[in-house]
Amino acid sequence: MEKEKFLEEFNRQQHRLGRIMLIAAAVLLLAVPFLLGGIYGALPDLKSFLNGFIKVGMVYIPVGIVEFLVYAPMLGNGGSYLTFLTGNVTNLKIPCAMNARDIARTEVGTVENEIISTLSVASSSIVTMLVIFAGVLLLVPLTPVLENPVLTPAFDTVVPALFGALGLKYFRKSMKITAIPLISMTLLCVLVPGAISQTSILLIPAGGMALVIGYVLWKKNKL
């Protein structure tokens, strides 16, 4: 009973601190483009921002909500606040927290589990930030090399490189979901070349199609 009371108080504190931290961090993150724009007299263009944000939001707001609904129960209170702030949810924080729980042999819903999850995500975030910081220090002297014109094709094709790798990874997960969106998008771009420059718009029907097919297959228990 005492432990339950402690958990209640501990959770209350974590929610308060977590909310304050996230609000402050969101304000700071949003301020960065304005601060840089202020220095160079080039503030973000509101019209272009809204145009881009609508397209991005259509895809990534649902993804963000789904990630929140799926992963928050695995991470607990403190773990969720830190994870959704520091990112790399599926590739790092979830496996890390699960691993720590296995080591500590804690059970979901207990105060011990809450504490271990928070310790795990916090230490993972600190280490990741420090590794990246050390790397950035090394990267600064390399900047002139990275800006060499010979390397321009590499950085101009960074998006195809990403989607080649991700495509294989995700297509393999479910060929049943993949077939129709992939074939239809390819045919559309081959037959209507004007669509190629509108990839940001193509994402919406392609994502919608994949979601509907995925949902139908899931309903029929065929995934």
Question: Considering the complex, what minimum distance in angstroms separates the CB of residue 47 from other proteins?
Answer: 9
* Sequence-separated (6 or more) residues with CB below 8 Å from residue 185: 202, 206
Binding residue (CB under 8 A) for other proteins from 1, 153, 220, 222: 153
Question: Considering the complex, what minimum distance in angstroms separates the CB of residue 133 from other proteins?
Answer: 8
Question: Considering the complex, what minimum distance in angstroms separates the CB of residue 171 from other proteins?
Answer: 7
* Sequence-separated (6 or more) residues with CB below 8 Å from residue 217: 174, 176, 177, 223
Q: Does 145 bind other proteins (CB under 8 A)?
A: no
Q: Does 94 bind other proteins (CB under 8 A)?
A: no
Q: Does 141 bind other proteins (CB under 8 A)?
A: no
Exposure string over 173-198, b if 16+ CB within 10 A, otherwise e: eeeebbeebbeebeeeeeeeeeeeee
104, burial (CB in 10 Å: exposed 0-12, middle 13-18, buried 19+): middle
Question: Considering the complex, what minimum distance in angstroms separates the CB of residue 71 from other proteins?
Answer: 9
Q: Does 125 bind other proteins (CB under 8 A)?
A: yes
- The phi and psi torsions of 4 (rounded to 5 degrees) equal -60, -40
Q: Residue 77's CB: how many other CB atoms inside 10 A? A: 20
Q: Does 24 bind other proteins (CB under 8 A)?
A: yes
Q: Does 113 bind other proteins (CB under 8 A)?
A: no
Question: Considering the complex, what minimum distance in angstroms separates the CB of residue 46 from other proteins?
Answer: 9
Question: Considering the complex, what minimum distance in angstroms separates the CB of residue 216 from other proteins?
Answer: 10
Question: Considering the complex, what minimum distance in angstroms separates the CB of residue 57 from other proteins?
Answer: 6
Binding residue (CB under 8 A) for other proteins from 1, 107, 168, 222: 168
Binding residue (CB under 8 A) for other proteins from 40, 94, 107, 220: 40
Of residues 169, 110, 36, 171, the one with CA closest to residue 44: 36
Binding residue (CB under 8 A) for other proteins from 65, 94, 107, 222: 65
Q: Does 140 bind other proteins (CB under 8 A)?
A: yes
| Alpha helices per DSSP H over the chain | 2-40, 46-86, 94-104, 111-146, 152-156, 158-173, 175-191, 199-219
| Residues near other proteins (CB under 8 A), total | 161
Question: Structure tokens of 107?
Answer: 């059970």
Interacting residues with other proteins between 197 and 216 (CB under 8 A): 197-200, 202-203, 206-211, 213-215
Is the distance from CB of 44 to CB of 33 less than 8 angstroms?
Answer: yes
Q: Does 4 bind other proteins (CB under 8 A)?
A: no
